[in-house]
A and B are shown apart, each in its own frame.
Chain A
Amino acid sequence: DQQVKQNSPSLSVQEGRISILNCDYTNSMFDYFLWYKKYPAEGPTFLISISSIKDKNEDGRFTVFLNKSAKHLSLHIVPSQPGDSAVYFCAASAGKNYGGSQGNLIFGKGTKLSVKP
């Protein structure tokens, strides 16, 4: 069962424009959400995260929005750059408490972002 869904396998954006990557989840126990970026033949690289008690977190060009009622989050990249081209994974954690001994991540299938010059 897909607890974390990324319904768009790919997205193509022009350099300088906004990239919006979407993620939906089904498990209301998830309390922390993370976005990872992955290049081929490399491990996932942590990008940005958000706690379920917030609705927005911003870090430079990257902003994550969380809509708990809709069980939906999105990653906005503004402005998009060719170096942003990669696969982006949404992940969720249902740790019992902050820093709890579990905290394993449930990943979506990823969205391949292509930023064209």
Chain B
Amino acid sequence: EPEVTQTPSHQVTQMGQEVILRCVPISNHLYFYWYRQILGQKVEFLVSFYNNEISEKSEIFDDQFSVERPDGSNFTLKIRSTKLEDSAMYFCASRDRGYEQYFGPGTRLTVT
């Protein structure tokens, strides 16, 4: 069964450094998302991406964040200058024309 994959599974970085989180969505899906979950809190929407552009973003997704679909398979989330409060699990999700989104296993980002 097709699945969403994410790399790396765990990323440790120092405050102020740039990180790129990578995702390979399910191949025939059209809509792509990033969510995050800070430890002990709920899953929060960051950004949605469709037809090679951002379609919606939350207040969390400020100028430090960017997304890209550099080729036909990868979908990346970049944080330009990480802060301590960016430490969280980051989940990529994708869907086709239905509502159901399929999530990857997540990347645990630790900012020290």
- Chain A residues within CB distance 8 Å of chain B: 32, 34, 36, 41-46, 49, 89, 91, 93, 95, 98-99, 101-110
> In the complex, which residues of chain B have a beta carbon less than 8 angstroms from the beta carbon of A91?
43
B101 at the interface (CB under 8 A from A): yes
The answer to whether A43 touches B31, judged by C-beta atoms less than 8 angstroms apart, is no
Q: Bound complex: CA of A39 vs CA of B57, how far in Å?
A: 27
- Contact between chains at B41 and A99 (CB < 8 Å): no
Contact status B45-A106, CB under 8 Å: yes
Chain B, residues 24-62, CB within 8 Å of chain A (1/0): the string is 000000010101000001111100101100011010000
Instruction: Determine, out of B13-21, B64-72, B73-81, B91-99, the stretch whose residues face the partner at the interface.
Output: B91-99
B103, closest chain A residue (CB): A43
B85 contact set on A, CB distance < 8 A: none
Chain B: interface size category: 20 to 34
Contact A101 B55 (CB under 8 A): yes
Let me know if A101 and B45 touch, CB within 8 A: no
Specify which of A43, A49, A108 is in contact with B99 (CB 8 Å cutoff): A49
Residues of chain A contacted by B44 (CB below 8 angstroms): 107
List chain B residues, Cβ under 8 A from A99.
Answer: 97-99
CB distance from A96 to the nearest CB of B (A): 11
Q: How far is the CB of A14 from chain B (nearest CB, A)?
A: 27
With known contacts A102-B48, A103-B95, A45–B103 Cβ distance under 8 A: yes
A42–B105 touching, CB < 8 Å? yes
Listed from nearest, the 5 A-B pairs whose CB atoms lie closest are A43-B103, A99-B97, A107-B43, A104-B45, A32-B99
Nearest residue, chain B, Cβ from A107? B43
- Residues of A near B91 (CB, < 8 A) are 43-44
- The listed residue (A34, A46, A49, A107) touching B42 by CB distance below 8 A is A107
- Residues of A contacting B93 in the complex (Cβ-Cβ under 8 angstroms): 43
Query: Which residue of B is nearest A36, CB measured?
Result: B103
Can you name 25 A-B pairs with beta carbons within 8 Å?
A32-B99, A34-B100, A36-B103, A42-B106, A43-B4, A43-B103, A43-B106, A45-B103, A46-B103, A49-B99, A91-B43, A98-B97, A99-B98, A99-B99, A102-B48, A103-B48, A103-B101, A104-B45, A104-B48, A105-B43, A105-B101, A106-B45, A107-B43, A107-B44, A108-B42
